[in-house]
Amino acid sequence: MLIGLLSDSHGRAEVTARAVGLLREHGAEMLIHLGDIETESVIDELAGHNARVVFGNCDWNLKALAHYAGLLGVAVDDPMGQIEVGGKRIAYTHGHQENLVRRAMEERVDYLVHGHTHRVRDARVGPVRVINPGALFRAARYTAALLDPVADKLRVVPVPRSTRS
């Protein structure tokens, strides 16, 4: 199963729509948004897909966003979620709560996926592969990522800033 990873939309629904479209075009069967969603319009772009979200430090209206996501069938796993795909455990959180990051590392999940820093990251920390797909706002280049946990492959996908890019 290919998992599409995106983060740090900061209310930018148009660029989120482009990221979702690209991830789906490349075969993503599930989408995980790693927080700093900020607006319902970003959640609208995840609706209708097999999508999950966690919230970030800029998501001030957690209850309202979680309620809205639920109405649209977008799963909310805040503040941290964990799924298993092909026998691989994937934990995901925004990344601003160090205790959650530490807990996932201590549990020795196969993957820890986070956002928050607005920088692409792909590193092994002991047995854990730590991944950040980058950001869809306030980044030198906008990116999302495709994770194939069974094959242990990651592909970073550039996302145009606008339809004219």
Per residue in 9-33, pLDDT (tens digit) is 999 999 999 999 999 999 999 999 9
Q: How far apart are CA 22 and CA 100, in angstroms?
A: 29
pLDDT exceeds cutoff 90 at 6: yes
164 assigned to some structural domain? no
Q: How far apart are CA 11 and CA 145, in angstroms?
A: 19
165 assigned to some structural domain? no
Contact, 116 vs 57, CB < 8 A?
yes
For residue 131, what are the domain limits? Answer: 3-158
Q: Which two tokens stand for residue 5?
A: 């990873």
We report the CATH number of the domain holding residue 30 as 3.60.21.10
Does the reported pTM lie above 0.75? yes
pLDDT exceeds cutoff 50 at 34: yes
Band of residue 165 on the pLDDT scale cut at 50, 70, 90: very low
pLDDT at 164: 62
147 assigned to some structural domain? yes
Domain count of the fold of the chain: 1
Region 79-91: mean pLDDT is: 96
